[in-house]
Amino acid sequence: MDKTGQLLEDLKSEDPAVREKATRDLWIIWHRQEGIELERELNEGTELMDQQKHDEALIAFQILVEKCPDFSEAHNKLATLLFMMGQYDEAVKECDEVLRRIPYHFGALNGLGMCLYELKRFEEAILTFQLALEVQPYALINRTYIARCRANLN
């Protein structure tokens, strides 16, 4: 089994410390996917996003995605920012870009589910959160959103 496969297995561990380390290590792999320079640019965009400088962060992530369309984490950060800006349909497209490349990207699965929830596409959201739970069975946020979606279906 390769390193990523082992980390994905570790996400299912009963030991919270093992799960936390696997989560952290997967984020590191995804951030470094396209090398240190693009990781630095990704981090700069993330800092702008964290500082609520959404317009500047949007430009930074769009440039990064244009420069390196296969950089999954750049698409993921762009999706996060678009979600924060209430642009759910655009965020869905970016999540789809991530998941096309990394189907087990739990961040993109959760983000996609949250977008679908906001778009009131509750049945699709439930399926997406269930996929996220297959990857990260102990991520309770996914169970919470499944319950919220089901409550909205009644």
Cβ atoms of 114 and 144 closer than 8 Å: no
Cβ atoms of 126 and 94 closer than 8 Å: no
pLDDT at 154 over 90: no
pLDDT band at 54 (very low <50, low <70, confident <90, very high): very high
> pTM for this one?
0.94
Q: For tokens 């698409």, what's the residue?
A: 75
pLDDT above 70 covers what percent of the chain?
100
User: ∠95-119-63 over CA atoms, to 5°?
Assistant: 35
Cβ atoms of 127 and 97 closer than 8 Å: no
Predicted local confidence at residue 137, as pLDDT: 97
pLDDT at 14 over 80: yes
**How many C-beta neighbours within 10 Å does residue 145 have?**
21
Q: Where are the domains of the chain?
A: 105-154
